[in-house]
């Protein structure tokens, strides 16, 4: 489940059980927040609904603070946390494709499966497109392998890139989040939309 030092050993079954429970909880939070609605999700890009920004920014901050405090108390070994390598070129291209798909389809992969689980047909179409995209990517990988592996930056964290302590970065991110929440509230008032 993670590099938690407070547990001597977590069996593979317990690990899967905890992952299942966390996954159910995550899906429940997505559905409760209205993320099964493509209109609500697209509202982020049009300025009339900033729920996506608020929920995900809050989740990122809670997760970041949780990791920092668990590490501070010696309950978590940060050196054991896996960080995906950063390939900047493919991150930019993939981010642009993902963003375009999000705007066009009104879903990201996680929210699409959330909406599909309650029977939304537009989510079914989106998940079908997602599967086709994965197949195209994997079957044609040799064509874009060079782009995929370009600009390998290793595994830097943002505080390392900015050359500041973790705690200071966390404080800065919290301040940025509060500013974004304020901007989001302003945008929702500036671009109101009738309930959908």
DSSP state letter for 78 = G
Which range has highest mean pLDDT (36-40, 105-109, 174-178)? 174-178
Model pTM?
0.73
- Residue 88 belongs to some domain of the structure: yes
Domain range for 108: 21-190
Burial status of residue 180 (CB atoms within 10 A of its CB: 0-12, 13-18, 19 or more): middle
Distance between CA atoms of 101 and 96, rounded to whole angstroms? 9
| Number of domains forming the structure of the chain | 1
- Residue 100 belongs to some domain of the structure: yes
- Residue 107 belongs to some domain of the structure: yes
- Residue 142 belongs to some domain of the structure: yes
pLDDT digits (tens, 9 = 90+) for 178-196: 999 998 888 888 877 765 5
pLDDT digits (tens, 9 = 90+) for 66-101: 999 988 888 888 888 888 899 999 999 999 998 888
Q: Return the ∠ at Cα 185 (arms to 184 and 190), rounded to 5°.
A: 95
- Residue 99 belongs to some domain of the structure: yes
Assign 1 a pLDDT band (cuts: 50, 70, 90).
Answer: very low
- Residue 74 belongs to some domain of the structure: yes
- Residue 117 belongs to some domain of the structure: yes
């Amino acid at each position: 489940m993670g590099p938690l030092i407070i547990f001597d050993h977590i069996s593979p079954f317990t690990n899967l059980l905890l992952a299942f429970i966390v996954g159910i909880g995550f899906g429940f939070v997505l559905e409760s927040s209205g993320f099964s609605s493509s209109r609500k999700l697209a509202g982020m890009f049009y300025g009339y609904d900033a729920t996506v920004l608020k929920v995900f920014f809050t989740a990122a901050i809670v997760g970041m603070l949780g990791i920092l405090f668990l590490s501070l108390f010696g309950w978590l070994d940060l050196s054991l946390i896996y960080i995906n390598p950063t390939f900047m070129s493919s991150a930019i291209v993939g981010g642009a494709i993902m963003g375009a798909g999000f705007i066009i389809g009104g879903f990201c992969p996680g929210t699409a499966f959330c909406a599909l689980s309650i029977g939304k047909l537009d989510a079914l179409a989106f998940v079908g497109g997602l599967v086709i995209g994965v197949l195209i990517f994997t079957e044609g990988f040799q064509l874009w392998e060079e782009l995929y592996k370009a600009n390998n930056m290793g595994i830097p964290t943002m505080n390392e890139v900015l050359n500041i302590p973790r705690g200071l970065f966390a404080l800065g991110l919290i301040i940025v989040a509060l500013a974004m929440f304020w901007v989001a509230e302003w945008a929702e008032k500036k671009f109101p939309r009738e309930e959908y």
